[in-house]
Amino acid sequence: MTQCQFITEASLPTEFGEFRLHAFEETNGKEHLAIVFGNVNNQENVLCRLHSECLTGDALFSARCDCGPQLKAAFKNIAENGSGILLYLRQEGRGIGLVNKIRAYALQDLGKDTVEANEALGFDADLRSYDICFDMLSHFGITSVDLLTNNPKKVEALENAGVSVNKRMPLHEGVNE
């Protein structure tokens, strides 16, 4: 069953070149982006990044995480590769949402790590889901990727959804205390 559908697209000029934004919407109303550089349609082993939204890291330059530097590195790697796709997934704070993420930050200020803080708030350590990635990649006819990630769970999630991961390429950027 299709969990999300394509809505619209537009250009996205960046410091790394001209990308295309493709907006998708889940059946529950949650919106996500596929950010594309070059021709990825019906290609094999497309350079791909699954990036979960992180307002504090991506836009506010937080040093609590490595999200912002990893996002920037992904854009750079995709542009240098000549083509690729970045799926920007709206699942802030490992899926707990922005306000709860700030609550978790307050617990981190008291000495808890990310997992401990999420669990203290009554959440699992990580509530992110990658189920919709299959629908988004299918829109472009992509069935196999070279995945930019440090997280082996993303490889497993894509393969369970029917997307072949040719190789996992670690993205070591901005590691903070």
Q: In what order do the strands lie in the sheet with 46-52?
A: 4-14, 17-26, 31-37, 84-89, 46-52, 144-148, 164-169
Q: What is the pLDDT of residues 118-169, one digit of tens each?
A: 899 998 888 888 888 999 999 999 999 999 998 888 999 999 989 999 999 9
User: For the ranges 22-26, 48-52, 148-152, which has the lowest average pLDDT?
Assistant: 148-152
Q: Compute the distance between CA of residue 167 and CA of residue 172 in angstroms, rounded to an integer.
A: 16
Task: Tell me which residues are annotated as active site.
Answer: 126, 128
User: What is the identity of the amino acid at 116?
Assistant: E
DSSP state string for 52-66:
E--IIIIIS--SS-S
Q: Which residue's structure tokens are 């996992």?
A: 168
Token duo for residue 163? 């997307």
- Whether the model pTM is above 0.85: yes
